[in-house]
Every structure is written in structure tokens, then in C-alpha cells.
Amino acid sequence: MSLRELLRINACEHLAIYILATLANFLLSVPQYLAVNTALELAINPKGSTAGLITQYGSSTGLFLDFLRSGLIFQGVMAVLVIGLIGSASLKRSWKWQYALTGMLVSIYLAYHLGGKFLNALGWIGVLDTSGVNVSGVYGDLFWFGLGTTICYLLAILVLRKSYGKIANRQTREGESRNYRDT
């Protein structure tokens, strides 16, 4: 199947996977940002690259730049994975296992990244709790945004499966029409 035909058939699905992954990442970034911002207001200093950006640019700008940087890195990795997904489907032979393997990479990376982000937000909430801050609102935010993230992740997996099915149906029809012409 040519790349042009593949994009005509599955462009919406591949774009939906990318958009759902972006939305899931954003939904978990909100409670994480709120928790870190609250910690900064209490003069609890973060570690790592976030601390460097905050020292260089100030608390609000540094925190925003840190979240922007991590978001752009996530977007770049997801773009490469989705393009790899498209490329694996455009192969003539053995596309099924390569598409399935690339789809697994997409889902594993997304789950790993979102799980890490969730645990990071929980860690910041724990820091706030030990500092005597009432964290019930932050926990509530994390719960609801985490629920939205889970829904986006599951929808992305379902769209991946739908995409595979559409390509498989198209390949089967092409094979049948090719066999019909040969006889």
C-alpha cells in the first residue's frame, strides 16, 4: 500500500492517537503544575533541572519553562512514534507484525510517561502534606484529571486497534482483487 493511500485511509486515526496522547499529557500536567507551584509558594525548592530554571528565570517563569520543555519533548517523541507507525504500515511485506510492534511501542511509551507523571504529582502532594498543607483539593484535582487521562489513554488504544483493522481490511481487499485479476 502506498504512503498516499495509507494517509487517505488512516490519517484521521493517526492524528487522533497523537491528539489523545497530547490531551492525556496535558491533563496530568495540570495537577502536577498546581502541586509544584504550591510547593514553590511555601519555599520548598525542587531538585534537578527545574531548580536550575527557577534559579535562572524566577519561580513562575522557570516552572512554566520546565513544563513547556518537558511537554515539547513528549510531543517530539510521540510525533516520531506516530510517524513510525505510519511508516510501518506502508511496508509491502511483514507490515502486520511491524505495525503491531510499533503500536505496542506507542502504547508502552505513553503508559510509561503518564505513569511517571502521575507518580511525580503524587510525590509533590506528599511533600505538601508533610509540610502541613491541606492537600485534599490537590488530591481531588489529581483524581479528576487522572480519570480524564485514563480515558484518553484507553481511547488512544482503541483508535490504534481501529487503525490496524482498517489497514488489515484494505490489505485483504487488495490481495483478493490482485488474485482475481491474476485468474
- For position 1, what pLDDT does the model report? 56
Domains of the chain, by residue range, sit at: 3-41+73-182
What sign results for the dihedral spanned by CA atoms 85, 86, 89, 95? negative
- For position 2, what pLDDT does the model report? 63
Q: What is the pLDDT of residues 35-59, one digit of tens each?
A: 888 888 887 776 666 666 666 666 7
> Could you give the C-alpha distances from 32 to 16, 79, 146, 152, in angstroms and in order?
24, 23, 11, 18
> Could you give the C-alpha distances from 62 to 30, 32, 52, 119, in angstroms and in order?
16, 15, 8, 21
pLDDT of 176 above 80: no
Question: Length of the chain, please?
Answer: 183
pLDDT of 161 above 60: yes
Element (H, E) at 44: none
Q: What is the pLDDT of residues 131-141, one digit of tens each?
A: 888 888 888 98
Q: Which long-range contacts (CB under 8 A, 24 or more apart) does 31-36 make?
A: 31/121, 31/138, 31/141, 31/142, 31/145, 31/146, 32/67, 32/117, 32/120, 32/121, 32/124, 33/63, 33/67, 34/138, 34/141, 35/121, 35/124, 35/125, 35/128, 35/138, 35/142, 36/63, 36/124
Q: What is the pLDDT of residues 95-123, one digit of tens each?
A: 778 888 999 999 999 999 999 999 988 88
pTM of the model: 0.83
pLDDT of 16 above 90: yes
| Top-confidence range, 30-44, 134-148, 165-179 | 134-148
Higher-confidence position of 122 and 4: 122
